[in-house]
């Protein structure tokens, strides 16, 4: 399935049905009085967080979503039926923004969460509604109210606890395939990973957390070069970033690390300030002296530093334990932070 993480759609809630002006007319029932019912409410457009979805591809070509109008009121005290709602199923992590006002209408953070995106119009009043002691035969009725129409931007941000970043071929896909059940495509050419891959990792104490492998960044990514700028939004919610640097690629691993660091800062101050771990990958085939250079870079910038070989398994479990601790502490700090 093609990965789509941003689309624009139009939604239209249903209009309310008109009220009815009617009088009861039955044999042997003189002065039957008004019996016109109210119109039905228009249907709403509702967003529903579906945990089984991981892309917005369903909305790439289906751009208009309309709910049904409410039925008109009828005589004999019959109210119109409400219009049918439209349920739009979206992946967990979707942000819905009104294009006109830029108001965020919904952030679907929990499975089965529901949010009304466009509210249906109320039904109009029938003349039964206007009956009173001084107005025994009202002829008033009102039309239904219009439903809301909106142009919306849907933006998917993958919900992961740990984000894996690095230049192409830094070893991100190999690492996520070793520590989780994810099976990303792995090859020795740049941009093997074309979409974010998610994997669930189990730590030693049965704690689990989600890791996202983000397609490789290159210099100038924040300006649209390469693929990374399309997917950096997906790590904005992560507890910690893992910056992988290939120790076997060349003799300047510190420069490679700085390239990615500059792109994070240029893209978002939020990303630049996130907790980060620098990881020297492919230690089993590292160029002599690269380990010392990258360790010095990490120490200089205040980052924790680890070395691993995902293929051989060296250092991987220690890294997983560290990540589990970061995720657990981050969750505890959020619980302790008072709301409002």
Q: How far apart are CA 314 and CA 171, in angstroms?
A: 14
Say how many residues make up the chain.
Answer: 340
Is the pLDDT at 220 greater than 60, yes or no? no
Parallel/antiparallel/unpaired status of strands 45-50 and 86-91:
parallel
Q: How far apart are CA 90 and CA 59, in angstroms?
A: 9
134-174 residue pLDDT tens = 787 888 899 999 999 999 999 887 777 888 888 888 888 88
Q: What is the mean pLDDT of residues 43-53?
A: 92
Contact 285, 193 (CB under 8 A): no
Is the pLDDT at 193 greater than 60, yes or no? no
Q: According to CATH, where is 3.40.50.300 located in the chain? A: 162-336
Q: How far apart are CA 98 and CA 112, in angstroms?
A: 21
Query: Among residues 297, 333, 294, 291, which one has the least CA distance to residue 314?
Result: 291
Question: What pTM did the predictor assign?
Answer: 0.67
Over pLDDT 90: what percentage of the chain?
Answer: 41
Q: According to CATH, where is 2.70.210.12 located in the chain? A: 1-156
Is the pLDDT at 184 greater than 60, yes or no? no
Is the pLDDT at 222 greater than 70, yes or no? no
| Three-class DSSP category at 200 | strand
- Kindly indicate the confidence band of residue 218, based on its pLDDT and cuts at 50, 70 and 90: low
CATH superfamily of 162-336: P-loop containing nucleotide triphosphate hydrolases (3.40.50.300)
Q: How far apart are CA 248 and CA 305, in angstroms?
A: 17
* Fold assignment, 1-156: Spo0b-associated Gtp-binding Protein; Chain: A, (2.70.210)
């Amino acid at each position: 399935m093609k990965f789509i993480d941003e689309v624009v759609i139009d939604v239209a809630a249903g209009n309310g049905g008109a009220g009815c002006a009617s009088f009861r007319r039955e044999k042997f029932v003189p002065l039957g009085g008004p019996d016109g019912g109210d119109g039905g409410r228009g249907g709403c457009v509702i967003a529903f967080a579906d945990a089984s979805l991981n892309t917005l591809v369903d909305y790439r070509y289906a751009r208009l979503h309309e709910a049904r109008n409410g039925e008109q009121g009828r005589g004999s005290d019959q109210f119109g039926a409400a219009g049918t709602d439209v349920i739009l199923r979206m992946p967990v992590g979707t942000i819905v923004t009104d294009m006109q006002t830029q108001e965020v209408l919904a952030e679907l953070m929990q499975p089965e969460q529901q949010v009304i995106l466009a509210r249906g119009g109320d039904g109009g009043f029938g003349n039964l509604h206007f009956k009173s002691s001084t107005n025994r035969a009202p002829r008033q009725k009102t039309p239904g109210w219009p439903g809301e129409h909106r142009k919306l931007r849907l933006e998917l941000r993958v919900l992961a606890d740990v984000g894996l970043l690095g230049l192409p071929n830094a070893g991100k896909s190999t690492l996520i395939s070793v520590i989780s059940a994810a099976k990303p495509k792995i090859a020795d050419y740049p941009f093997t990973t074309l979409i974010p891959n998610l994997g669930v990792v189990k730590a030693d104490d049965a704690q689990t957390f989600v890791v996202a492998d983000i397609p490789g960044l290159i210099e100038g990514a924040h300006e649209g070069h390469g693929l990374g700028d399309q997917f950096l939004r997906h790590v904005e919610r992560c507890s910690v970033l893992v910056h992988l640097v290939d120790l076997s690629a060349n003799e300047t691993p510190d420069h490679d690390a700085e390239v990615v660091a500059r792109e994070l800062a240029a893209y978002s101050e939020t990303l630049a300030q996130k907790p980060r771990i620098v990881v020297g990958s492919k230690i089993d085939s590292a160029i002599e002296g690269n380990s010392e250079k990258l360790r010095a870079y990490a120490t200089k910038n205040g980052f924790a530093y680890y070395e691993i070989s995902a293929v051989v398994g060296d250092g991987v479990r220690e890294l997983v334990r560290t990540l589990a601790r970061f995720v657990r502490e981050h969750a505890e700090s959020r619980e302790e932070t008072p709301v409002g």
